[in-house]
Amino acid sequence: METVTETTTESETGTPVHRGTVRLFDKTRPLLLECGQPLAPVEVAYETYGRLNAEKSNAVLLLHALTGNARAATFGAAAPEPSGWWNGVIGRGRALDPGRYFLISANLLGSCYGTTGPASIDPDSGRMYGTAFPPVTTRDMARVQQALLEHLGIARLRAVIGGSLGGMLAWQMAVDVPELMQQVVPIAGSVAASAWVIALNEVARQAIFLDSDWDGAQAADRARIAPEGLKLARMIAMISYRSEVSFEQRFGRQRLFRERDRRFDRQNRFQVENYLHYQGEKLLRRFDPFTYLTLTRAMDWHDVSRGYGSMEAALQRIHARVDVIGIDTDRLFPAAEMRQTVKRLQQLGRSALYHEIQSPHGHDAFLIEFDQLNALLTSILEVEDESVEIRRHIGGG
């Protein structure tokens, strides 16, 4: 393992912030993917906040969503861009307090924010991988996360917490490496992709394939392709990330211009149309179409029972305490689906509880409802913290 880049700073509040990129696999020790192909080198961009305690017992792994990155939090006025995707729950006095926990956030395998993925340079061709990047799964992602933890000298995690695709990966890690964590908190993410998730992802991918600039044969030679297709893919996805209640409350039938003589003007969009176009254009400035294809396919292939014979056999492997957080208006990963998984775990004799965010914002509520999320995560983590202190007090492990 080779450190590629590394910086450590201290925030205005005294929080140590470490940013690094490490090469975890190389030609002498490639990552053998679940599809059977070797991948090397594999570099991972990651950030940590806080300090690992002497017992190495306070490490919490955070797993990001589809278009997320390693920057889970930013600290101070001089913090670099982009801002942290979970600033609302990370910080002094919040649920994920870096004064209490050693927080680790790494860009997922196959992404485009510093970790090896289709936007990386293929060492064999000297060109961007593009469509030549091999298929990756949440199991492959889990192996890379585990390799990073080994690099950091962490054998056991206090908790693994992830949302959406990160929630799927949290389930995968809980099943594949059950001794790795005390607690797992999947948020709005399932044990297997449903037909609904697969259908939405496929429609979004087709938007990219049908783009006038898409050329699969020569895609790896082009730095930027399928801009309109990626924009449309994001617009489609945003409808599934929010809810009809959210759209109605925020936009209703409002238009860009209120003048009566413009009511049939095609340039006078509805505000909800304008919002979708804005979100699509915003993603174009920061994401890559090959990455979108790679990660949505990883979501589709996600099924923790693969290789274990049945879902029950897979769930029985989980040793960690499970706290699932659902969202009452989530249309992508419905709350009923989350509750059903918890019920199955309880029937198997596993320690599992269901918690719910009440919000009009749909799937994206875990990136919006920070007051509720802080309260839930605080209560969830404190239960395990208290049990650890009791065991220590009576001389247990």
Catalytic residue among 211, 288, 303, 330: 330
Query: How far apart (Å, rounded) are the C-alpha atoms in residues 170 and 164?
Result: 10
Go through 351-390 and write b for each residue having 16 or more CB atoms within 10 A of its CB, e for each that does not.
ebebbbbebbbbbbbbbbbbebbbebbeebbeebbeebee
Query: How far apart (Å, rounded) are the C-alpha atoms in residues 73 and 86?
Result: 6
Bond before 41 cis per omega within 30 degrees: yes
Task: Give the 3-state secondary structure of residue 195.
Answer: helix
122 is catalytic: no
> For residue 65, which of 241, 246, 243 has the smallest C-alpha distance?
241
Number of residues that this document lists for the chain: 397
330 is catalytic: yes
Token pair in block for residue 109:
């395998």
DSSP state at residue 40: -
Query: How far apart (Å, rounded) are the C-alpha atoms in residues 301 and 269?
Result: 37
* Strand partners of residue 183: 321
Q: What angle do helix axes 195-209 and 289-301 make, rounded to 10 degrees?
A: 160
Catalytic residue among 11, 97, 363, 364: 363
Token pair in block for residue 314:
């897979």
328 is catalytic: no
Is the alpha carbon torsion for 328, 334, 336, 338 positive or negative?
negative
Residue with tokens 């192996």: 143
Amino acid at 146: Q
Token pair in block for residue 174:
């809980």
Catalytic residue among 164, 190, 243, 359: 164
Query: How far apart (Å, rounded) are the C-alpha atoms in residues 320 and 313?
Result: 15
Q: Are 230 and 292 in contact (CB under 8 A)?
A: yes
Query: How far apart (Å, rounded) are the C-alpha atoms in residues 187 and 333?
Result: 10
Active site residues: 164, 330, 363
